Amino acid sequence: MMQLLGYISLFLEGAVVPYKLYYHPSDRKYHFRPEAGITRFPCVVAWQLECSWIFEGAVPESLRQQHCSHLDAILLKNAGPLL
């Protein structure tokens, strides 16, 4: 079952597009899905392999950078404080 991690905004084609970020623990993948009713923009699936992010399908570099920054921020937030 996927867990909703948060709401994010991505800058696509000159517009700010609201997305939801989900995590699927069984396959350890992150799913970016546009808000309901927005079908023009793609869903994106990513997972972490060692220290880099891997994306399914052809995702433009500018979009990859936005996804990576959101994923890194979520992971840092969920890691909790450093002791």
Residue-wise pLDDT tens digits, 14-29: 889 999 999 999 999 9
Structurally, the chain folds into a number of domains equal to 1
DSSP 56: S
Cα angle value 29/49/33 (rounded, 5°): 25
Ramachandran angles phi, psi of 50, nearest 5°: 55, -110
Query: What is the SS3 assignment for 60?
Result: coil
pLDDT of residue 80: 64
Query: Residue 83 pLDDT > 80, yes or no?
Result: no
DSSP strands (E only) in 1-83: 3-12, 15-24, 29-34, 44-49, 52-55
Span 34-81, pLDDT tens digits: 987 777 888 999 999 988 999 998 888 888 999 999 999 888 887 666
Residue-range definition of the domain harbouring residue 34: 3-79
pTM to 2 decimals?
0.82
